[in-house]
Amino acid sequence: MDHLDAQRRSANMAKVRGTDTRPELTVRRLAHRMGLRFRLYRKDLPGKPDLVFPRHRLAVFVHGCFWHRHSGCKRATMPATRTDFWSAKFSATTARDAEQQRRLEDDGWRVLTLWECELKDEDRIVSLLAGACRRGDADTPMRKPGPVR
């Protein structure tokens, strides 16, 4: 049983953002400090990737572990109520994610998925971004990001 009434639950759910989330802002800050330039939410690409590096033909999705079902993650829990609804919703989300990735790859894009729970290790994110961009264009200068101000 939900401990919040319908009005409070609705207010809480309305606060869940789809763009400019804290995990996305973290990745954007790191990419920018590395000297990488990107576009946000390109509507002409399948799934409107969170970050697009056109020069490298790289699309980056920053997924929340709960909503996109990060396998083996403690944040990918199943709500205790309305399990049929949530199960169907999560299945549709993961199927849509897989289809969008397939379509991007068919169009010649490389896809990098970064998970919310992995963003605490900034060095790993920098390494993943640098590696993904180097595979696309070896002539791109990469800077090691400086300290956070």
Give pLDDT tens digits for 101-116.
999 999 999 999 999 9
Residue 144: band (very low, low, confident or very high) from pLDDT cuts 50, 70, 90: low
User: Whole-number mean pLDDT of the chain?
Assistant: 88
DSSP letter for 111, please: E
Task: Place domain 20-136 in its CATH homologous superfamily.
Answer: VSR Endonuclease (3.40.960.10)
For residues 137 and 61, the model is more confident at 61
- Mean pLDDT confidence for 3-31: 85
The two tokens of residue 94 are 């993961």
Which pLDDT score, from 0 to 100, does residue 146 have? Answer: 56
What's the predicted TM-score (pTM) here? 0.81
Report CA Rg, the chain: 17
Task: Provide φ and ψ at 24, rounded to 5°.
Answer: -65, -45
Condensed to tens digits (0 to 9), the pLDDT of residues 42-55 reads 999 999 999 999 99
Element (DSSP H or E) covering residue 133: helix 122-136
Spans of all domains in the chain: 20-136
